[in-house]
Structure 1
Amino acid sequence: MTAQLTPIEEALAHLLGKAPVITATERLPLTESFGRILAQDYQAPADVPPADNSSVDGYALRAEDYVPGQALLVSDRIPAGSAPSPLKPGTAARIFTGSEIPAGADTVIMQERVEVTDSGILINAEVKADQNIRRRGQDLAKGSLALGKGTKIRAQEMGLLASIGLAEVTLVKKLRVAILSTGDELVDPGTPLGPGQIYNTNRFTLLALLAEAGCEVVLCETLKDTRTATRETLERAATQADLIITSGGVSVGEEDHVRAVLEEFGELSLWRLAIKPGKPLAFGSIKGTPVFGLPGNPASVLVTFLMVAMPYIRTGQGRLRIHPVGLQLPAAFNTTSTSVRREFIRARIESVNAEARVSAYPNQSSGVLSSACWADGLAVVPEHSTVAEGSLLTYYPFTELLS
């Protein structure tokens, strides 16, 4: 296996070409669909909204019946949820937000622009057709595509699916993932630290990232730092999971067993990326189950998961959009040294002289996870480049990287 660094575009092309697309589906109540992926297209069975309705509380009338200074008789009252009678010519109808527009009316005047008198209403506003009316089918026309296969369901998608009357939806089954941490020095939070020990940070970072990605964690263990234990646990995980994600054990040290086990007992098809942090990422398989070997440092785990593992997972889920979309924003910082690796800087957007700029956390060490808590995204410094304040950078918000 060559030690040459692989550019991230080349690595992604390789990885996405190997991603097995999940074909298993399940039907669940709409209330349980948040964060899941649609397994089929959904068309609108009827117009949404199903009828013209008022966007305000006010009065419905025919615009040509309005005469400035002349009162209009109120002939009807239309609460939401009722079927209105046709509007009597030369009159107005009291109407409320969401109420169906009566036949014959072509405008609604909001109540704040109306004076109620004993002889009717006086309108203190310009009156023209189509004011304050939400037209039938303005959101979705009958038969049109509401949401496509591969859409991730957020709050707004849940609402849209409800608007076409769906109580249940067909979803892609969750990808089953095993999380394996490496290192005899790792202990779980809640346990006092002994000499040379540290808390297992990466397990909890990965648990949350996989939940955001719509995956199911089926195994979560810490590997003992021996070749035999690493092999046995990886092979056992392969029988339970669709994907194995390890943290640590992929560099060149004598105790880095994950990469060695993949080379000897499985397949290692990718190792060492031209990115910073995250160079020693590995990818392969054991007993036919794909394995992502992420680096051990906490910030490296976050960056490599977001930039490399997440597109792979999206591909397997059949997502409509695989790659995140970055913003182009000016930098609020400088760098002086260049690297052969593409750097992903923990950064956030701040206002500098009333302009949105990207600020970098001062310490970009791969062991400083607090930098990611301060940040709200990643700024990209291209290979062989330095950053001058004000130069444009590609910036990926965390919300975009996890969408």
Structure 2
Amino acid sequence: MSLSCFDLGERMLSVDEALAAILGFASAPPGHATLPLAALVGRVLSEDIASPIDVPQNTNAAMDGIALAWPGGQGGDSQALPESWELVGESLAGHGYRGEVPKHAAVTITTGAPLPRGTDTVIMSEQLEDAAPDAAGARVTVTRPETVRVGQHVRQAGEDVPRGALALTAGTRLAAEHLGLLASLGVERARVSRRLKVAIFSTGDEVTAPGEALPMDGIFDANRFSLHGLLAALGVEVIDLGILADASQAMVAALRDAAGSADMVITSGGVSVGQADWIKPALAETGELGFWRIAMRPGRPLAFGRLGHERVPFFGLPGNPVAVMVTFLQFVQPLIRRLQGEHAWQPVRLTARAEAPLQSRCGRVDFLRGVYHADETGQLWVRSTGRQGSGILSSMVAANCLIEIAASSAGIEAGEAVTLQPFMHRS
């Protein structure tokens, strides 16, 4: 039975059609949590944050040196700057000079210290020499005064973030720089989307867990651990259900139980038209199948549907390990990010030139494993990692990108432009 919101039946879908249908299934993020600053990395903001203060709070020095008032004021660029200046005090970071600096006088100042009243320009220490004191006290000499410009080495209050300005928007995935910005605003807690729970399991009588003896006809379970890594990078809570044998009722029970405890369920293997493939009939008994045929390589077949009364999104990924990773990046990742509240997220795509011809076939999107680099002029070039069989996981390890060849292309010639998706964790 087709999902009523898809109504796509058994026909072959383009990559764009499949992705649009999957994203159209996304609902609102599953709840929120307010967490302390140190626990926010990797989480997605669910509120806009405006700055309660000017950042920086005070106009301050960008260099160690002296602060002075330019003769003639801010419009006095053409007026000659005196070489010798009387020092009347100091302004330190955290301990500013409280008085007003008289005309033709200066104060020593450190980086980050507030600019005292009456000053507008900082001259860095490297351009200063001690002068002989006079009756009024210490003096300093400016070397090459003709190079000094009014207002130089000064950071204005609020030039980073003005008071009341929008600092971060809902839907931002928080990284180290965002935590630093929030801290600079004095924000100690923020509201973020609740961590998604994703249940995963592998299928197949031939699949064996690492650490167990490998049967004569067996393979080790690579897919479940690739999924662990991909999901961990998105900050989800993984519910690992292990390996399920090819048995119809066991599959039905596993899908039903997973739907009751998870926000999403992902399996690998068992979704083709083979006699021993159980996911599709089990899904028909526990939920609804939206579609399973997509014009791409690697990646066929991929089943997408929903489970139980909870309408939990379900992905039945292919069995081959490269196909699992490619389909996850193209379809599962966008839906997870949408559910987490990253509504504006798009995968990074770059344009490079092919170092050698790349084979493809019209009518499907080909995702080749590739390695890209920049030449001495900054031009990006890309080559394939060699053999592109969907079971050759070592070629994924050797790659730093996917080369995306459009369905309209019969191949890419050497020197021709091609689109690539960089693996961000390897850039």
What TM-score bracket applies, with the shorter chain setting the length?
over 0.9
SS at match of 2:84: coil
Which of the two has higher C-alpha Rg? 2
Instruction: Tell whether the 8 Å contact from 1:182 to 1:247 is kept in structure 2 after alignment.
Output: yes
Q: Which runs of 5+ in 1 are unaligned?
A: none
Instruction: Establish whether residue 124 from structure 1 lines up as the match of residue 133 from structure 2.
Output: no
The alpha-carbon distance between structure 1 residues 117 and 338, as it changes in their structure 2 partners (threshold 3 A), is same
Displacement, 1:264? 3.7
Residue 283 (structure 2) aligned to one of 252, 262, 265: 262
Could you tell me which of 49, 71, 89 is aligned with 1:76?
A: 89
User: How do residues 149-188 of structure 1 correspond to structure 2 at under 5 angstroms?
Assistant: 149-188=170-209
> Residue in 2 aligned with 1:367?
391
1:97-147, Cα deviation, whole Å (9 max, x unpaired): 111111111111121222233342222341222211111111111111111
My pick for the range that moved more, 29-38 or 209-218, is 209-218
State the distance in 2 between where 1:116 and 1:348 align. Answer: 58
Change (3 A) 1:59 1:397: same
8 A Cα contact 2:252 2:285, kept in partner = no
Q: Does 2:38 match 1:31?
A: yes
> What residue number does 1:223 align with?
244
Deviation readout 1:187-232 (Å, 9 max, x if unpaired): 2223332322222111111111111112111343211111111111
Name the structure 2 match of 1:88: 102
Q: Which runs of 5+ in 2 are unaligned?
A: 2-8, 73-78, 134-138
Which amino acid is 1:253 matched to? Answer: G
Distance in 2 (alpha carbons) for counterparts of 1:146 and 1:271: 42
Aligned-residue offset at 1:23 = 4.2
Match of 1:357 in 2: 381
1:294 to 311, 317, 324: 317
* 1:98 and 2:98 correspond: no
Instruction: Tell me, yes or no, if the aligned pair for 2:385 and 2:398 is still in contact at 8 Å.
Output: yes
Partner of 2:296: 275
Distance 2:396 2:359 in 1: 22
| SS of structure 2 residue aligned to 1:310 | helix
2:343, 2:278 → 1: CA distance? 36
* Aligned pair partner of 1:324 in 332, 347, 360: 347
Q: Does 1:342 align with 2:365?
A: yes
- How far apart are 1:262 and its partner, in Å? 1.3
**120-129 vs 377-386, which moves further:** 120-129
Bigger mean CA offset, 257-266 vs 202-211? 257-266
Which of 44, 62, 65 is residue 58 of structure 1 equivalent to? 65
1:190 aligns with 2:211: yes
Q: What is the SS of the residue equivalent to 2:323?
A: helix
- CA distance in 2 between partners of 1:307 and 1:400 (Å): 16
Deviates more, 1:220-229 or 1:352-361: 352-361
CA contact (8 A) 1:324 1:400 kept: no
What's the secondary structure of 2:294's corresponding residue?
A: coil
TM-score, normalised with respect to structure 1: 0.94
> CA separation in 2, counterparts of 1:96 and 1:156?
25
The residue type paired with residue 381 of structure 1 is I
Match of 2:418 in 1: 393
Name the SS for the 1:72 alignment partner: strand
Structure 2: distance between partners of 1:190 and 1:130: 67
User: How many Å separate the matches in 1 of 2:394 and 2:63?
Assistant: 48
Aligned equivalents of 1:243, 1:253: Cα separation in 2: 25
Q: Counterpart of 1:181 in 2: which secondary structure?
A: strand
Alpha-carbon distance change, 53 to 220 in structure 1, aligned in 2, over 3 angstroms: farther
The aligned length equals 402
Contact 1:149–1:320 (Cα < 8 Å) also in 2: no
Q: Which amino acid aligns with 2:141?
A: L
Report the alpha carbon displacement of residue 171 of structure 1 after superposing the two structures with TM: 0.9
Aligned-partner SS, 2:66:
strand
What letter corresponds to residue 143 of structure 2 in structure 1? N
User: Does structure 1 retain, via aligned residues, the 8 Å contact 2:59–2:115?
Assistant: yes
The residue aligned with 1:240 is 261
1:303 is aligned, of 320, 326, 349, to 326
Deviation of the 1:260 alpha carbon: 2.2
Which moves more between the two structures, 39-48 or 393-402? Answer: 393-402
How high is the sequence identity, in percent, across the aligned residues? 38
Structure 1 residue 3: deviation in Å? 4.7
> CA RMSD of the aligned region, Å?
2.1
Indicate whether 1:19 and 2:26 are aligned: yes
Tell me if the contact between 2:255 and 2:286 (Cα under 8 Å) persists in the aligned partners: no
- Contact map agreement 2:13 2:293 (CA 8 A) in 1: yes
Query: CA contact under 8 A between 1:87 and 1:104: conserved in structure 2?
Result: yes
State the alpha-carbon separation in 1 of the partners of residues 371 and 347 from structure 2.
17
Letter in 2 for 1:106: D
Q: Give the SS at the match of 1:291.
A: strand
Contact kept, 8 Å, 1:219 with 1:237, in 2: the verdict is no
> Is the Cα contact below 8 Å between 2:351 and 2:380 reproduced in 1?
no
Cα distance in 2 for partners of 1:21, 1:332 equals 44
